[in-house]
Amino acid sequence: MLYLWQKYTAMDNPFILEPYRSKELFCDRETESALLLDYLLNGRNVTLISPRRLGKTGLIYRVFDEVKQRGLPVETYYADISSSSCIEDFVQLLSESVASVLARQNRMIELLNALKGIRPVLGYDPVSDTPKLSFTYQSPEDKRLTVKALLSFLENNKRPVILAIDEFQQVREYPGVEMEALLRTYIQPLHNVRFIFCGSKKHMMIDMFTNPLKPFYDSTAGISLAKLDKDIYGRFILSLFAAGGKSISPELVDDIIRWTRDHTFYTQFLCNEVFRISGSVVEEEDIRKAKENTLASNLDRFLECQRLITPGQWKLMKAIAKEGEVRHPTAADFIQKYKLSTGPAILKNLKSLVDKELILADIDGSGVVYCVYNVFLSRYLEAL
């Protein structure tokens, strides 16, 4: 075990800020990764939903790594479509995902053959160090056929395929094409390809997969990713500090988790900063300084955010930040305490802030809970 840690600690901060590096640096998610893999291996497609920055993408890579470690005869593909705004972008990102795997296997020629009706041109992106296909379309039909051809290629792959499409709700934004209906039609007959549809916009994802009027209705098993268990995360953080040659008290770890509201990205970030600035014994002062540094390095972003919304919206965000979470935003005591405007104006501002993803509207057993989405912005507002 010690050996495994040593290879990271010599020169590296163990608190990763990318979705996944290795099992050792990834906290828990044992139940979720086992369930996700089990569903896929039993022939089911899966929807994976949670707010942003909680660990969906990391979980997908954890599962892909598990497939590799166990030597399962399955190929894994990952396409992040968050930057796409039309079907051409979708084709581009999907083809890059497929090409990056095939290039490593020296099988690009197979892909080019499968797509020869569409005559893609093979290039190379020196920045991402991956092959790049460019397509010229004669007609809108060509674009749809390219999606179909890429999926058929995976269907005809010798080994079964898992294809993860990240931020899947983005397909709703494509103009001039019923992308959900199109994909459902192409995906339904596939036997060799299992899908992970991953998404951060809960209401859209729920609508896509549980509304009887929508093409993907009832076609997947759902996994809703929650926050990490606080005790498990606390022990994980303690062990990574120890493995990095630093000691920290459980009380200070609790403070980190509390201040970052155990929202994984923010917790990892603060741990990374504490690790960076501390000596062999982490002091309370290091935690204070790490919080201060973190807010200071984000200040420009916060001010830009203030500039982009109305004073009324900013005031409402500040009130929500000071409360931590709010269940009844139009309640008289909340309005009075923060001298907010009328109920209807609050609801209008709230809707706008939720649409901009500045406020998270999460649903739990007792209804909707509102909080400032970005935990660091929330801590900044709270102190104003």
End-to-end alpha carbon distance in the chain: 46
265 scored as a contact of ligand ADP (CB under 6 A): yes
For residue 342, give every residue at least 6 positions away whose Cβ sits within 8 Å of its Cβ, in sequence order, or none. 335
56 scored as a contact of ligand ADP (CB under 6 A): yes
Maximal C-alpha separation, the chain: 68
Residue 315 interacts with, from Mg ion, ligand ADP, none (CB under 5-8 Å by kind): none
Only one of the segments 18-26, 251-259, 279-287, 349-357 lies at the binding site for ligand ADP (rule: CB under 6 A); that segment is 18-26
Q: Which is nearer to ligand ADP, 21 or 148 (CB)?
A: 21
Give me the residue label for tokens 């160090």. Answer: 129
Residue 278 CB coordination number (10 Å): 21
We find the least distance from the C-beta atom of residue 269 to ligand ADP, in angstroms, to be: 7
We find the least distance from the C-beta atom of residue 254 to ligand ADP, in angstroms, to be: 17
Which one of 46, 47, 49, 55 is in contact with ligand ADP (CB under 6 A)?
Answer: 55
Whether the Cβ atoms of residue 33 and residue 55 lie closer than 8 Å to each other: no
We find the least distance from the C-beta atom of residue 150 to ligand ADP, in angstroms, to be: 23
Nearest residue to the partner ligand ADP, using Cβ: 55
Whether the Cβ atoms of residue 252 and residue 220 lie closer than 8 Å to each other: no
Torsion of CA 321, 323, 324, 329, to 10 degrees: -80
19 scored as a contact of ligand ADP (CB under 6 A): yes
Question: Token pair for residue 304?
Answer: 């830009």
What is the per-residue binding string for ligand ADP in 194-233, x denoting contact by CB under 6 A?
Answer: ------x---------------------------------
Give the C-alpha separation, 378 to 359, whole Å: 10
318 scored as a contact of ligand ADP (CB under 6 A): no
57 scored as a contact of Mg ion (CB under 5 A): yes
Give the C-alpha separation, 258 to 266, whole Å: 11
Only one of the segments 51-59, 76-84, 176-184, 305-313 lies at the binding site for ligand ADP (rule: CB under 6 A); that segment is 51-59
Nearest residue to the partner Mg ion, using Cβ: 57
What is the per-residue binding string for Mg ion in 16-55, x denoting contact by CB under 5 A?
Answer: ----------------------------------------
Residue 29 interacts with, from Mg ion, ligand ADP, none (CB under 5-8 Å by kind): ligand ADP
Q: Which is nearer to ligand ADP, 24 or 110 (CB)?
A: 24
Which one of 146, 264, 278, 374 is in contact with ligand ADP (CB under 6 A)?
Answer: 264
27 scored as a contact of ligand ADP (CB under 6 A): yes
Q: Which is nearer to ligand ADP, 170 or 264 (CB)?
A: 264
Whether the Cβ atoms of residue 209 and residue 219 lie closer than 8 Å to each other: yes
We find the least distance from the C-beta atom of residue 295 to ligand ADP, in angstroms, to be: 18
169 scored as a contact of Mg ion (CB under 5 A): no
We find the least distance from the C-beta atom of residue 150 to Mg ion, in angstroms, to be: 22
Amino acid identity, position 307: R
Whether the Cβ atoms of residue 141 and residue 149 lie closer than 8 Å to each other: no
315 scored as a contact of ligand ADP (CB under 6 A): no
220 scored as a contact of Mg ion (CB under 5 A): no
Which one of 5, 8, 14, 26 is in contact with ligand ADP (CB under 6 A)?
Answer: 26
Binding region for ligand ADP (CB under 6 A): 16-19, 26-29, 50, 52-58, 200, 264-265, 268
